[in-house]
Each structure stands twice: as C-alpha cells, then as structure tokens.
Amino acid sequence: MNPLSDISYIEIQTEDPVQMFSQILEAFENSKPNKTMPSPINIATFDDEFGALNRTVNYRGLTVDKHITIVTQKDSRKYANIMKDPRVTVTFYLEIPNTKGQIAQWQIRLFGKAIELSPGEISNLWNEETVFAKIRSRICDCGKPIEYLKLKETHDTILKAYENGEDSLPQTELFTAFKVVPSIWDFYKSDPNCIGDRIQYRKDESDSTKWIKMHVAA
Ligand SMILES: Cc1cc2nc3c(=O)[nH]c(=O)nc-3n(C[C@H](O)[C@H](O)[C@H](O)COP(=O)(O)O)c2cc1C
C-alpha cells in the first residue's frame, strides 16, 4: 500500500451479510480481549418534530432468526417513532487492527425496519438486564424533567430492597425490544490514508431469500 494514498479493499467471503457482520464483530472482540462493556451503536428514526432523530443504544446480540436486537422503553421517543414508522437506520463504528497491525475503521450500516419482539423474547432480554438497567426501567420517565435527589432516594430504596432480597426487580410494563430487519447491509472499511471500500448487500427483489452483493464507492 502506498503510504500517501491508496484504496482499502474488503474481501467478500460470504453470500450472507449476517455472516460477514459476525466475522467483523468477532475480529473486533478478539482485538479487545478485556473488553467488558458492550459496543454502543446508533439508531436513527423518523420524528415528526425533529425529522431525523438518532441516539446511542447498546447492541444486544442477534435474535434466533439472526437480526440485530436492541432494547428500550415504551415511553421513549424512539418507541413512538418506530410505532408510527418502523423504518430505521442502525450504525456500528468499530476500530479493528488490519493485517499490518494498523487500526482500520469500520462502519456497518443497516437500512431496514424495526419489529417489536415477542413477549417471550422480551422477557429473556429482561432476565439479562443489569441491576441498574432494571431499576432505571422502573423509575425513569424517559425524557421528562426530574428532581435529582428525589430520583436518587427512590433508586437507593429499591436497590436496598433488592440487596435484602425483598424486591426481585420484576420485568416492567415499559421494557421492550426490537429486531432490525434490513433490506440493505452496508460495510465500509477505511485503512490509514486510504480511501474506503464499501460492500453492499441488497435484498434481491425477485427472491427475498437472496442478497445481491457489490462493491460501492466510498
Ligand atoms: C452508551 C449508551 C448506551 C445506551 N443504550 C441504550 C439502550 O440500549 N436503549 C435505550 O433505549 N437507550 C439507550 N441509551 C440512551 C439513548 O441514547 C437515549 O438517550 C434514550 O434512549 C432516549 O432516546 P429517545 O428519546 O430518542 O428514544 C444509551 C445511551 C448511551 C450513552
């Protein structure tokens, strides 16, 4: 590679974008063996007031049918947005060492629709929630003004009851989860001083079980 300028190259190793995604995520996770926090991602929705509205959420793995999962609250703006118009864009940004040991920047975007998961799937995700997330789900009225000290006192009371075994932190009515069903997966890789390469997988309109894949310009 010329150190002044070159073009990154993504090798297409699979017909299946989910497999491609999983391979990239695995490379990322292997490069960060002590990583304890999940990778935050970004999800954009349509909002009547703001137009496009995006925010950070945690990536919660793949559903059994291999779709990206996120969890949220039914009183959040994103929930209302998705209920009105399920079209969303999800973006991952990952830094992964390339074969030369340099840091390559990866962006993975999915254009698709968010579909609420079944009660059983939502319940399984609740069971994996951290203690703080379970308490938040019960006490936070998403986006509304708060009196900090009052909220802290409520939090501490619930936490103490949990620690004493008096409160099992049952699933709240507001907790929910979505999968993102994409029509396009867009993978972008940029090595240092390189123009990026992109691979797009687009749903084959004549056969929804297939993907058409191509390099596209950065
Ligand atoms: C690192 C990080 C992770 C987050 N994870 C989630 C999440 O998994 N689900 C969620 O609803 N909000 C999450 N949030 C909060 C959202 O970014 C957002 O502020 C909140 O959900 C309200 O968004 P909305 O009103 O646009 O729906 C996270 C924020 C940060 C900074």
Residue 39: which pLDDT band, with cuts at 50, 70 and 90? confident
Question: 144 lies in a domain?
Answer: no
pTM metric for this prediction: 0.95
Read off the pLDDT of each residue in 151-178 and give the average, rounded to a whole number: 98
Ligand 1 centroid from CA 56, angstroms: 5
What's the domain count of the chain? 1
**pLDDT reported for residue 36:** 62
- Is residue 58 in contact with ligand 1, taking CB distance under 6 Å? yes
Orientation angle between helical segments 131-139 and 148-163, nearest 10 degrees: 130
Look up the CATH number of the domain holding residue 17.
2.30.110.10
In sequence order, what are the residues at sequence separation of 6 or more whose Cβ sits closer than 8 angstroms to the Cβ of residue 139?
A: 151, 154, 155, 158
Which atom of ligand 1 lies at the shortest distance from residue 47's CA? Answer: 26
Report whether 72 contacts 78 (CB < 8 A): yes
Question: 186 lies in a domain?
Answer: yes
pLDDT tens-digit readout, 195-216: 999 999 999 989 988 999 999 9
Report the nearest-CA residue for atom 29 of ligand 1.
Answer: 56
**Residue pointed to by tokens 């929804």:** 208
Question: 115 lies in a domain?
Answer: yes
pLDDT tens-digit readout, 177-193: 999 999 999 999 999 99
**pLDDT reported for residue 88:** 98
pLDDT tens-digit readout, 75-120: 999 999 999 999 999 999 999 999 999 999 999 999 999 999 999 9
- Is residue 144 in contact with ligand 1, taking CB distance under 6 Å? no
Read off the pLDDT of each residue in 2-25 and give the average, rounded to a whole number: 94
In sequence order, what are the residues at sequence separation of 6 or more whose Cβ sits closer than 8 angstroms to the Cβ of residue 184?
A: 109, 110, 111, 112, 200, 201, 202, 203
- Is residue 40 in contact with ligand 1, taking CB distance under 6 Å? yes
Instruction: Print the domain residue range for 58.
Output: 6-129+175-216
Question: 26 lies in a domain?
Answer: yes
Question: 142 lies in a domain?
Answer: no
Please state whether beta strands 103-116 and 87-97 pair in parallel, antiparallel, or not at all (unpaired): antiparallel
Question: 161 lies in a domain?
Answer: no
Question: 82 in helix, strand or coil?
Answer: helix
Question: 147 lies in a domain?
Answer: no
pLDDT tens-digit readout, 46-77: 999 999 999 999 999 999 999 999 999 999 99
Distances in Å between the Cα of 34 and the Cα atoms of 44, 101, 132 are 30, 18, 22
Question: 78 lies in a domain?
Answer: yes
